[in-house]
Amino acid sequence: MTRIEEEKVEHLLGILAIVSILIAWVAGSNLSQKDVLPYFKKAWPQAGRFEQPGNGIYTVYADKTSQNIIGYATIGEANGYGGPMKVVVATDLTGNIAGLAIVEQKETPSFLDRVSDSDFIKSFVGKDYRDSFQLDKDVDGISGATYTSRGIAEAALRGSRRIAELQLKLPLPNQPPAKIQFGFPEITLVGLYLVGFVGHRQRFRFKKQVRWVSMLAGLIILGFIYTRPLTISDINKLLLGFWPQWQTNLYWYLLIGGILFVFTADNKNPYCEWFCPFGAAQECMGALGGAKPRLSGRYKRTLTWLQRGLAWLAVLLAVLLRNPGLTSYEIFGTLFDLKGTTLQFALLGIILITSLFIRRPWCSYLCPLRPVTDLYRTFRNWIEELWLTIRKKQSVS
Amino acid sequence: MANDQKKTKRVIEFIFFLVLILCVILILIEIYNNVVHELQGNLWMMFAQVL
């Protein structure tokens, strides 16, 4: 097969991948909704029964037969790390929280496990609806699952205030506007984009040295300190429309927006080769072992297509099941937080050892982000060519 | 001598290929486990619903 024929096949498969993901997106809306009543019972196990009068707020009775009302419950909604989450919020008759239970969430399993393994949910019991529910002020956030814990706190706040306002007819406190989160991770990210912008210049003398500084900064700050690398779940969130509140998730917008902007304007990937923390970790291993791009020919082709297949499957299932973090198979958290399943640790061990001999084995043959960036680049170039052809025709005529 | 080196290189390349195939298999198992956990075992029910 010639190179041109290969390119045609690649373009056709790229279009088929997009069409199948669109079909999955539509089909995902047909999946049935969960029965929420068991979650009300989980939130308040001592309650006898829950009855819904019709406004989305359930009345909670002391036992199965009596008319003794002990509180109210509803579903609070907010955005977590992976997308919207629904939480049952039950309050007593004074507006104090009696219990919480997560009904639906789109979190990466390892993040949710951190919350489930802690007493975070229980720490809301007894909180007043007038409290601000701010992390590390009113409630202790869970390290490494900040967005998930913030989402639960926000859902608890909204649910309890809804009951207080609509059912208990209590006055609500003034809600201060959301505070813009612009801290060290955001500053680092902007700094790394700027370093990349300078470093990408063709005639820059210290390109190699600056790239190593950028990679090490990415590895230490975005990897080990904050554990916030780009993952396929970020792409899935973008596709599913689960865009978080910008004031509290500025980092996400800077990461996604920065990459898309540089790619579109300059046709260069500012992230993977310059400050991806996991890429940097592999390159450090490679520097120790003298790694080279060892695979060639059919082995390389087979692995590239398997990588594309994995990325397609990860996006397709996430879109179908409306859960961006579900198929995020990256092992970044396993390395930087030392959290993960046995399989993930096994995979991490294999990758780190292989990195000693092969240059960036994860990035080259397994990472789901590479096929996504390849596809984006293909369509970007195609649109650019089309645009130039149209302009050429216009100038001739 | 040159042939031996070429052969060794090919064997090493094949071993790395197998190692990476093993990684692909581990990733597929990981995705399968997560999806089954999410659907609480009702994998076929989901396909039936979608269809």
The more confidently predicted of residues A309 and B49 is: A309
A352 vs A374: CA distance, rounded Å: 24
Q: Are residues A202 and A344 in the same domain?
A: yes
- Strand ranges for chain B from DSSP E: none
A97-104, strands of its sheet edge to edge: A49-51, A58-61, A69-79, A84-92, A97-104
A143-147 average pLDDT score: 77
Q: Indicate the residue of A30, A109, A358 with minimum beta-carbon distance to B16.
A: A358
Q: How many domains does chain A divide into? A: 2
- Predicted confidence at residue B43, as pLDDT, reads 61
Instruction: For B19, name the nearest residue in chain A, comparing CA atoms only.
Output: A350
pLDDT: is A36 or A355 the higher one? A355
Asked if B28 lies within 8 A of A310 by C-beta distance, the reply is: yes
| The token pair that represents A357 in the structure block | 């001999």
pLDDT higher than threshold 60 for residue A98: yes
Pair (A228, A352) in one structural domain: yes
Residue A60's H or E segment, with its range, is strand A58-61
Asked if residue A189 and residue A112 are part of one domain, the reply reads no
Residues A300, A158: one domain? no
Q: Would A228 be classed as within a structural domain? A: yes
- Subunit contact B23:A32, Cβ cutoff 8 A: no
Is the pLDDT at A354 greater than 70? The verdict is yes
My answer on whether A213 and A82 are in the same domain is no
pLDDT value of residue A58: 92
Contact A367, A307 (CB under 8 A): yes
Considering only CB atoms, B26 lies closest to which of A294, A314, A346, namely: A346
Burial label, A308 (beta-carbon count in 10 A; 0-12, 13-18, 19+) = buried
Hey, what amino acid is at A92?
Answer: D
* Domain finish residue from A125, A141, A166: A166
> Which chain B residue's Cα is nearest to A331?
B27
**Do A297 and A389 have their domain in common?**
yes
Q: What is the pLDDT of residues A106-124, one digit of tens each?
A: 887 777 888 888 888 889 9
**CA–CA separation, A356 vs A379, rounded Å?**
34
CB contact under 8 A, B27 and A296: no
Looking at the structure, tell me whether residues A140 and A204 fall in a common domain: no
**Stronger pLDDT, A116 or A374, i.e. the higher one:** A374
DSSP string computed for A66-121: ---EEEEEEEEEEE-SSSEEEEEEEEETTSBEEEEEEEE----HHHHHHHHTTTTT
Among residues B30, B31, B41, the alpha carbon closest in space to that of A317 is found at: B31
- Reported pTM: 0.81
On chain A, the residues whose CB falls within 8 A of the CB of B29 are 343
Q: Is residue A161 part of a domain?
A: yes
What token pair was written down for A48?
């006898």
Q: Is A15 a domain residue?
A: no
A10 domain-assigned: no
Are A208 and A78 within one domain?
no
The size of chain A, in residues, is 397
Q: What are A47's two structure tokens? A: 């309650």
CA-to-CA dists, residue A173 to A100, A161, A170, angstroms: 21, 9, 10
Token digits of residue B34: 């997560």
Q: What is the pLDDT of residue B46?
A: 63
Residue A52 lies in a domain: yes
For the cut 60, the answer to whether the pLDDT of residue A32 exceeds it is no
pLDDT score at B45: 65
Residue A175 has pLDDT above 90, yes or no: no
Contact: B49, A347; criterion CB under 8 Å: no
Please indicate, yes or no, if residue A2 is contained in any of the structural domains.
Answer: no
In this model, does residue A53 exceed pLDDT 90?
A: no
Q: What is the mean pLDDT of residues A239-256?
A: 89
Residue of B17, B20, B27 lying closest to A329 (CB–CB): B27
**What pLDDT does A322 receive?**
87
- Give the mutation candidate from B12, B20, B33 for the A interface (greatest A CB count, under 10 A): B20
pLDDT top residue among A70 and A177: A70
Range with lowest mean pLDDT among A15-24, A51-60, A126-135: A51-60
Instruction: Kindly list the residues from chain B whose CB atom is less than 8 angstroms away from the CB atom of residue A343.
Output: 26, 29-30, 33
User: The tokens of B47 are what?
Assistant: 């396909």
Chain A residues whose beta carbon lies within 8 Å of the beta carbon of residue B49: 30-32
Residue among B14, B23, B37 whose CB faces A366 most closely: B23
Please report where in the chains the tokens 């450090």 appear, as a residue: A284
Percent of chain A predicted with pLDDT > 90: 51
ipTM of the complex: 0.88
A136: left (phi over 0), alpha (psi -120 to 50) or beta: left
| pLDDT above 90: residue B24 | yes
CA distance A71 to A318: 37
Residue A160 has pLDDT above 70, yes or no: yes
Burial category of A366 from C-beta neighbours within 10 Å (exposed 0-12, middle 13-18, buried 19 and up) = buried
Q: What is the pLDDT of residues A298-338, one digit of tens each?
A: 899 999 999 999 999 999 999 998 888 889 999 998 999 88
Residue A338 falls inside a structural domain: yes
Please give the residue that has the higher pLDDT: either A146 or A99.
Answer: A99
The pLDDT of residue A379:
86
**Together in a domain, A189 and A124:** no
Determine the structural domain holding residue A274 and report its residue range: 181-394
Let me know whether A222 and A136 are in one domain: no
Do A241 and A388 belong together in one domain? Answer: yes
Task: Output phi, psi for A292, to 5 deg.
Answer: -135, 160
Q: What is the mean pLDDT of residues A147-165?
A: 91
Task: From A166, A195, A215, give the residue that closes a domain.
Answer: A166
Q: Which residues of A64-100 are buried (b: 16+ CB within 10 A; e: fewer)?
A: eeeeeebbbbbbbbbbbbbbbbbbbbbbbeebbbbbb
A124 and A157 both lie in a single domain: yes
What is the C-alpha separation between A336 and A280, in angstroms, rounded? 12
Asked if residue A27 is part of any domain, the answer here is no
